[in-house]
Chains A and B, each alone.
Chain A
Amino acid sequence: MTNERAFKLDAALKIHLLLVDDEPDFKEILLKRLTRMGIQLSLADCCAAALETLETQPVDVIIMDVSMPGLDGIQCLKKVKERWPLVEVIILTGHASVKSGIEGMQGGAFDYCLKPIDVLELLEKVELAAQKALLNKENAKA
């Protein structure tokens, strides 16, 4: 119904996105699609790697898986929001539950989405999160 051409990204093109997920196939597909759409994207396959990336380069929006080796996505979210409160985090999980959804939102997630997700739908969420992240930065400056 929606096609890629009908859909304009704006804020998403001005930010740096980090994808944290341990599923190589999923990451590869997303990397390809998002890069083609012109989004700057880094990858991490666990929380520790994600935190390392955050230390070394500016990140505005994170797409975070929940079940990963080491710290899970919800715990990782809390760590990120503690140190980098301006970063917006989209939780993307393969195992939904009402309880973990609320946990994620209470931890400060921008949104909580379920796999499998249509890439265009995810892109829209990224665009909205990016708009907010840019606003966060602006407000922090003021």
Chain B
Amino acid sequence: MIQRLWSGIKEALGIYILPTLSAEELQRLFTTKYRCFRELLTANNNALEAMAELETALRDGRTFSMTFIRSKSTVVTVNIFKMIQNLRKMGDGRYLNLEKSFSRIQEQIDAVIDKEIIPVEGDWFIPITRVNRSMVEQTGEKMANLGEAGSLPGINIPPGFAVTASASRLFYLENNMYPAINRIFQQTDAHDIEDMLRRSEEVQQLIINSPLPAELERQLCYQFDQLLEMTDSDVKVAARSSALGEDLGRASFAGLYHTELFVDRDHLIQAYKTVLASKYSTRAMTYRLAKGYRHEDIIMCVGCLAMIEATVSGICYSSSIGGRIGTLDVFFSPGSAKGIVDGTKKTNHYTVERMAPHRIVDKALDADDASAPLSDQQAVELAKISMKLERHFGSPQDIEWSIDPTGTIYVLQSRPISVHLLATGAEEGVIFEDDRLLLHGGVTGCPGAGSGPVFIVRTNEDMVQFPKKAVLVVEHPLPEWAPLLKRAAALVAETGSEAGHLATISREFGLPSLLSLDQATHKLVNGETVTVDAANRAVYRGRIEELLEQQGKRPNPMDGSPVQQTLTEVLKLITPLNLTDPASPYFRAALCETMHDLTRFCHEKSVIEMFDFGKRYHFAQGAAKRLVDNMPLEWWVINLSDGFAPEFDPVNKFINVTEVVSTPMIAIWQGMHAYPWEGPPSVSMRGMGAIFLQSTMNPGLDPAVASNMNQKNYFLVSRNYCNLSVRLGYHYAMIEAFISSLRTERYVTFRFKGGAADESRRVGRIELLAEILARFDFRVDLTGDALNARVEKRTQSFLFGRLKVLGYLIIHTRQIDMVMADPQHRQRYRQKFIQEIEEMLSNDK
């Protein structure tokens, strides 16, 4: 009983009664532990690399997808799981609390990334006459607005019905489509337009080839028959996209989806699926990617509306874009509106006063089309409708309309123009009227200037070839070219207007664009560098810095997006480091709050497990050997596996550096001895005072207080591995590296903390270290007076060089914190360090 109690206490205290093992068994146990240790280090390397990638993507404002977040988070969690398993093996089953902490954090991450997709409640079909704004969750934005508009007196909309969100979600879930699509996305290279085109096709085919649930198909046809009865017998419908989950204040989603025109009963099902599939057109995919939308969140609803036989069609902006204050725009051309929004048609443009009686203040007519198909009376009527819709919806509207042969005006779409998309009237700047001027004219789509080589795009093949930062030149500003806007320096089109979809998207991306510029594809030559001044409607030969200098930073289209928010939330669970001080009583498994805490904890404990093995098991091979050296410091070396030359006798208490075969240790050693230490800096009395004060405040800094690993300087080594922990004077430093022929395993890392001087001087030294390390390619993280630096998966020779840099720095930055308050001293040390390190590295080559 007492014995059981005693062993219980010992267990609680972490003391284990170790079985007596033979020398051979001990060696095998040690080898197994070392094997676990190595696996743990590799997992640590993979986890930290993926964590850094997640962090960098957010910090640098890169474009990233859900697939990226999901993949990298999976790499992080899987590898940390592996670390925990290995640590528990090394610790003979201890550290049970790690698993609890891990599960807790992992479940939270999972919940942020993979939200469950559930069916949408409600009817599959709603007649457009019954649709209003309150039904946006069922019918999507476009149809909700159209139904609402149609309920206003004096506004006509075509008859038809909406196919709802609950219908399309059912179709997706029944066919198990989301996992299939994500699987395709995971293997898509978003930077490669060719791959995007191929994958987009693959997803669209998947959707088109999947069957509609039978009952849904039957009812869809029934709805069409009902429409036939209401109208005439050879009615055709337009199947229009009406997506849900697009935050229209932030993103236009202009022209990204397909509208299928002249659909009869036989082609209804096909047309419906085609519109659903257009959610995965290349342009929609790249747009969502750039703007940070998740495809699962955007549900496609479809409006089936009777076709209007249009004599004239157009677009109204109830508040002019780029025009005078107090006016509205009416763009129009004969026939349907398609040519205006995709920029293929030349467009007439009236500017009309917003206030009744809506005087027409300007008429810009296309020269080729002298007989304007729109009467002044109709223009005034359109202005009235526009203002009515603006008042009703409470914000400026972008309205698409058609007029039939009887003269009836039909509204086909009304949506808010988001405020930041309204280009402000560009101030006329200077035009350089010299031989640099290539072209002058057109209309500004988005003001600003950009420069790069001309690249004319006519086909999908051209699109694939499009180089980054080139000037995109096209005949028509088709929405198909949208995937190129993120990589272009400027956009120039021969036709189109500021009302076109591509112009709208260029404004969202802050990409300078110039439209309706005659002769652009003829006068501009592929490969020639030009500068496009979109605000002043000019294209110049060469690069004109003074125009480019005035450019602000382009907006990051991902800002505030759902995908960006997801990453921010995930990172909160992954990257913050709370466990920074292994000596603290809060450095405990149960207190790990993030994945970073877990890696830090596992790493720290694994090193200690290896360190303690020799002592715990009385294993001579695992005991520390004193290194023979001329430095006035004690260095001890522990062999973890194959770090000593075979001829070294493990009974010896001393070892020569020539008997060490650990390549990382040798590199550190070379760095330490590359230049003689010039001794401590001469210190003013104030500097000395700061040190004494710090020493009395923090007994842990007193070198007289011994605590196992803290007191001496230890190398833990194997052939490919070295961990050096150093307590030089008052600071703690750790260098660790694994350098083998396998890239996956390779890294160099450095930790540094503390110092004897007061905080500002200590931080002064750390900042100097951080600056030098960053200069020599380390990824550096600074928190207070703690520094972490790391570099991984580079070539072996590169990493050996970095180890020398660290070896050099830990010797030469000793005690310099005392003089760090003096900027002149700092400057002198910075120069000396950089010069000597560069010299040392160049000697290697």
Contacts and interface: CB of A to CB of B under 8 A. Distances in A.
A: interface residue count bin: 20 to 34
B187 A116 contact: yes
A121 interface: yes
A96 B69 CA distance: 10
A21 interface: no
Interface in A41-78: 67
A6 B795 CA distance: 10
A36 interface: no
A128 interface: yes
Nearest to A106: B81
Interface string A1-45: 110001110000000000000000000000000000000000000
A105 B182 contact: no
Contact of A98 (B85, B113, B741): B113
A95 B179 contact: yes
Interface of B is mostly: helix
Given A7-B741, A99-B110, A135 B35 contact: yes
Interface string A86-119: 0000000011111101101110000110111000
A114 B183 CA distance: 11
B106 A102 contact: yes
Contacts of A102: 77-78, 81, 106
Contacts of A115: 186-187
A97 B74 contact: yes
A98 B74 contact: yes
Contact of B28 (A97, A124, A142): A142
Given A116-B187, A128-B42, A132-B35, A95 B78 contact: no
Interface in B723-779: 741-745
A97 B742 CA distance: 26
Contacts of B28: 139, 142
A81 interface: no
A125 interface: yes
A12 to B, nearest CB: 11
B461 interface: no
B77 A98 contact: yes
B677 to A, nearest CB: 36
B744 A121 contact: yes
Interface string B167-208: 000000000000100110011000000000000000000000
B114 A97 contact: yes
Interface in B434-458: none
A8 B741 contact: yes
Contacts, number: 82
A124 B77 contact: no
Contacts of A124: 742-745
A101 to B, nearest CB: 4
B73 interface: yes
B460 interface: no
Contacts of A8: 741
Contacts of A104: 78
Contacts of A127: 742
Contacts of A105: 78, 81-82, 85
B186 A112 contact: no
A87 to B, nearest CB: 17
Contact of B75 (A6, A67, A114, A132): A114
Contacts of B187: 94, 115-116
A95 B744 contact: no
B74 A95 contact: no
A7 B183 CA distance: 31
B543 interface: no
B580 interface: no
Nearest to B31: A135
Nearest to A116: B187
Given A95-B179, A101-B78, A121 B743 contact: yes
B71 interface: yes
Contact of A112 (B35, B74, B110): B74
Contacts of B74: 96-98, 101, 112, 114
A139 B82 contact: no
Given A94-B183, A97-B70, A142-B28, A128 B744 contact: yes
A136 to B, nearest CB: 10
A34 B82 CA distance: 26
A18 to B, nearest CB: 21
B276 interface: no
A67 B186 CA distance: 14
B136 interface: no
B501 to A, nearest CB: 33
A15 to B, nearest CB: 16
Contacts of B82: 105, 111
Contacts of B744: 121, 124-125, 128
B73 A98 contact: yes
Interface in B820-843: none
B128 interface: no
A114 B28 CA distance: 34
Most buried by A among B106, B187, B743: B743
Contacts of B78: 101-102, 104-105, 111-112
A96 B182 CA distance: 9
B827 to A, nearest CB: 36
A32 B156 CA distance: 65
A10 B155 CA distance: 78
B109 interface: yes
Most buried by A among B75, B81, B114, B742: B742
A132 B73 CA distance: 26
B203 to A, nearest CB: 14
Nearest to B28: A142
Given A124-B743, A128-B744, A95 B106 contact: no
Given A124-B742, A132-B35, A139-B32, A114 B71 contact: yes
Contact of B743 (A2, A97, A99): A2
A4 to B, nearest CB: 12
Most buried by B among A98, A99, A104, A139: A98
Contacts of B85: 105
Given A102-B81, A114-B75, A95 B110 contact: no
A114 B743 CA distance: 17
Interface of A: 1-2, 6-8, 67, 94-99, 101-102, 104-106, 111-112, 114-116, 120-121, 124-125, 127-128, 132, 135, 139, 142
17 contacts: A2-B743, A6-B795, A96-B70, A97-B114, A98-B74, A98-B77, A99-B110, A104-B78, A114-B74, A115-B186, A121-B743, A127-B742, A128-B742, A128-B744, A139-B28, A139-B32, A142-B28
The 10 closest A-B pairs by CB, nearest first: A101-B78, A95-B183, A96-B74, A124-B744, A101-B74, A112-B78, A98-B110, A124-B742, A94-B183, A105-B81
Interface of B: 28, 32, 35, 39, 42, 70-71, 73-75, 77-78, 81-82, 85, 106, 109-110, 113-114, 179, 182-183, 186-187, 741-745, 795
Given A98-B113, A127-B742, 4 more contacts: A8-B741, A98-B74, A102-B106, A139-B28
